[in-house]
Structure formats: C-alpha cells, structure tokens
Chain A
Amino acid sequence: MTAVHPRRPARRYGPEEDPAVSEAEAVIQALSLRRPVSEAAGNDEAVRLLLALIDDVDQCGPSDQRCSSVSITPSA
C-alpha cells in the first residue's frame, strides 16, 4: 500500500519578493527622499518615529551658521 502525501506547495517567492518587503522599501524610499508617505504608512508607529527623527535632524535654526555655510576647502 502506498501512502499518498499531499504535495507541499512550492514557495512562491523568496524573502526579497515578499510583498511586505516591497511595501517597506516603498515607505523607506519615500522617507529617504523626504517625500510624503501614504496615509496608512503615516499611521504606522515605526514610521512616525522615523519622521520625528528626520524632522529633528533636518531642522536647523536660522542662527545656526554651521548649517548655512562651511569653509573646508583649502585656500587657492
């Protein structure tokens, strides 16, 4: 008597093709380029934290001359 085992479903995609990975890439790309994220991503706590950090490090007060110009190239 031969036992018949149901065939295992083939894995459809590797981790790189996982839709969740692509979604995370889209969100991170938007954050990276300082573009607006989707409403759903905006409600994500992790994205909200990253947005707060971005906002903080990108800000530069008008009196902060370090952000307006630097002189680091040698003299001519």
Chain B
Amino acid sequence: MPNVTEGCVADAKSGVRLATRSDGAAHRDDLKDLTSLAVQGDRTAIESLLAQLRPMVVRYCRARLGRVSGQYHIADDVAQEVCIAVLSALPRYRDMGRPFASFVFGIASHKVADALRSSVRSAVPTQDLPDGPDEGPGPEETVVRYIEAEHARRLLSRLPDNQRELLMLRVVSGLSAEETGNVLGMSPGAVRVAQHRALARLRAMAELESIA
C-alpha cells in the first residue's frame, strides 16, 4: 500500500512541525495542476495532492475541535475522515473554476460540525507510556502553550460563526482570501473586510478580559 507522507520537517528543538506553505500563488497553481491529474486517476498526483492538503486539514480540525484529554486524537481522526471523503469524492469532482481547497474545506467544515454534534468528551485510551527520553518542550512550556491556545479557542468560539470560520481558514489552515471566500460564499474583498472586523472584535474581547 503506498504511503502518503506529508513532508514533516524535523526540528531538533521543537519536535516535528507540520509542513507549512511557502508561497500562496505557486501553491494554488500546484494544487490546480495536481487536482486535474488526480481527477483523471493519476496515483502519484493523488498522493501529492493529499500530502499537500492534509496538513492544512489537520490544523483546521485541531483548531476547531481542540484537545481531548490533552491529545489531538479526535481532531486528527476527523482530519483523516476528511481526507478519505475527499479521496472518495475525487472521481466525481468537476472543476467549476473554484479553488480545490474550497471543495476540501467545505467537506472539512461539515465533518467538524458532525463531530461537534456527536462529541462525547470521554477519556481516550492511550498506548503504554513511551520508554525513552521526551524530547518535546518541558512541562512549564507545555502548560503555558496549552493555556494560551485554549484562551484563543475560547475567545474565537465567542465570535460570530462566519468570523470564526473565516479566521480559522485564513490563519490556521492558510487559505488565501480567494479560497476562503469560495468556501464561505464571499468575495475576496468581503473576506478582507470581514477578517479586519473579526480581528478587531477578537482584540476587543481579549482587552476586556484582561481588564476584568
């Protein structure tokens, strides 16, 4: 069975970081070319396409669903379901002039909504404790990072749905204004105005909390 390796970049100090996009326009062109080949059944193109999309989907699901018992298992499972759904839908995909990412995040948005509806926040069984040195960040850094991320999630959850979704897609998943607009049914200009308002609202909420 061929593996889809997402191209993690190993970093000796910070562990393994998910691959990030380097250039927006080039990335979109790559995706467009890969998509047309993948729809025709080209296996290499399918693997490359999924390898490019998966990190974006994982980040989106993690940001929306958060951790359960300190782990991202549920979010990562949902991300995997999204990738499988994209793979299944690929033969039926028709290019209507919209970026492929908007098709993927349309699926991701529904999968996350399903997961939120059916979420049962129960303990997640874990494997045996790893036998070896933990090369990740120390406990204090881990806790601080966790608290800050949870604070961000809590404030984002208080934004109107459209503004929250917009920031998730643009900032966390790394979609362009055009791609985000296609997912949300907005023009790129409207996305830029809305993200400015979302940022201002987030800032106001954070400042209000720091005063209280």
B118 interfacial by beta-carbon distance below 8 Å: no
Cβ B199 vs Cβ A24 within 8 A: yes
Interface string of A15-46 (1 = CB under 8 A from B): 11010111011011101111000000000111
Determine the chain B residues whose CB is within 8 A of the CB of A24 once the complex forms: 192, 195-196, 199-200
- Closest residue of chain A to B174 (Cβ to Cβ) is A32
Q: B interface, by DSSP: helix, strand, loop or mixed?
A: helix
Cβ A67 vs Cβ B6 within 8 A: yes
Please list 11 pairs of residues, one from A and one from B, whose beta carbons are closer than 8 Å in the complex, sorted by A's number. A32-B24, A33-B174, A57-B63, A58-B59, A62-B136, A66-B80, A69-B3, A70-B50, A70-B54, A74-B87, A76-B1
Interface residues in chain A, defined as those with a beta carbon under 8 Å from any beta carbon in chain B: 15-16, 18, 20-22, 24-25, 27-29, 31-34, 44-50, 52-64, 66-76
Cβ A75 vs Cβ B148 within 8 A: no
B206 interfacial by beta-carbon distance below 8 Å: yes
Interface residues in chain B, defined as those with a beta carbon under 8 Å from any beta carbon in chain A: 1-6, 8, 14-18, 20-24, 43, 46-47, 50, 54, 58-59, 62-63, 72-73, 76, 80, 83-84, 87, 130, 135-136, 145-146, 148-149, 151-153, 155-156, 167, 170-172, 174-177, 189, 192-193, 195-196, 199-200, 202-203, 206-207, 210
Cβ B1 vs Cβ A57 within 8 A: no
